[in-house]
Chains A and B, each alone.
Chain A
Amino acid sequence: MKIQVKFDVQLICKNLLIEKLDQLGVVYRLNPPGGIEILQNLDKEQKVVLFHELNTSGIEVIGDQQLIRVQKVKEIISNLVRLDTFDESMKVSAHIEEKLPYTYSYLSRIFSETAHISIEKFLILKKIDFVKELLTEQNLSLTEIAYKLNYSSVSHLSKQFKNTTGFSPSYFLNLKKQLNITG
């Protein structure tokens, strides 16, 4: 006899998660998709067991609260860079504090600890990443990009690009063009 089955992946995953958590005997509440709220205090050993149990069953724990907060800061910065109203003078610290219920100094500290880079440097990296995209994919000129991202001058943008990537924007663009031809 041959039969064909169809999987409800969502349901299977949810059930597996519930089974695992019940086995471990922790008090929890599910916040779909993917959020689990542990409603009791776990000591270090219990945490290790919990993470181990989940990680070895094909479920991946995205980490503890610190990592999640850092991830949120990264998301805020990623969106910020692409805002039409992005203003160089905009206080990034104030913007982040507005969106998350923590002080900037705390977020700044855990960010550097987990991401190995400061928030300010990450912002520049993210901005230059966007500049690269605008240069290569949207064919904007440096002047247009400087204006769009509110750089005080083209030379400032150029300098930051060079400091971050090691290339001048024109050299980078040239390289990308050659890459596209060969690749």
Chain B
Amino acid sequence: MIEKNLNIALVDDDNDDRTLFELAISRIGIPSQLKMFKSGIELITYIRDPAIRRPDLLFLDLNMPNMDGLECLKEIKQDPGLRDITVIIYSTSCSEKDIEATFLEGANIYLNKPSDFNDLKKALKRILALDWQYQNSTLNRDNFLFRL
């Protein structure tokens, strides 16, 4: 079937941010499953397990202890089995340097963490809908770059 639930993963070391994210996703109305991780290492261990269904899209915080978002992104994009996952950088940083660096490492979307819950919901809805088009239409994935 073309229509399937989107499999979403979030990596964020901040407890409150994870809770808000989960709530926002549940209110959007696009069928999806969400898995959340507290660190990049936790995520990498999980998605390397061949028994699991790989996420379709991955939200990645940048500032995290031990393995930060950028390192995590590099690790994923270097792995041929994981390279196709849509990666969304989900960070409070709006420095052009971070934005450019993550795109150059292969991130598909850059999202500044909105401070307002409704804005977060709107942004997530747009991203889920967008990713869905790239998975199910003849859109060119090589050019899949967005900044929201």
Q: Which A161-179 residues have a C-beta within 8 angstroms of B?
A: 164-167, 172, 175-176, 178-179
Number of interface residues of A (CB under 8 A): 32
Q: How far is the CA of A163 from the CA of B23 in the complex (A)?
A: 27
* Chain A residues in 8 Å Cβ range of B100: 175
The number of A-B residue pairs with CB atoms under 8 Å apart is 68
B140 within 8 A of A: yes
B104 x A55 contact (CB < 8 A): no
CB distance from A72 to the nearest CB of B (A): 12
Contact of A62 among B1, B106, B129, B139 (CB under 8 A): B1
* Chain B residues in 8 Å Cβ range of A20: none
Q: Which A97-152 residues have a C-beta within 8 angstroms of B?
A: 114-117, 122, 125-126, 129, 132-133, 136
* Chain B residues in 8 Å Cβ range of A183: 106
B147 x A166 contact (CB < 8 A): yes
Q: Mark each residue of chain B from 105 to 137: 1 if its CB lies under 8 Å from any CB of chain A, else 0.
A: 010001000000000000001001110110011
Q: How far is the CA of A175 from the CA of B96 in the complex (A)?
A: 12
* Chain B residues in 8 Å Cβ range of A116: 30, 125, 128-129, 132
Q: How far is the CA of A168 from the CA of B145 in the complex (A)?
A: 12
Closest residue of chain A to B103 (Cβ to Cβ) is: A175
Most buried by A among B2, B132, B146: B2
Q: Which B52-91 residues have a C-beta within 8 angstroms of A?
A: none
B3 within 8 A of A: yes
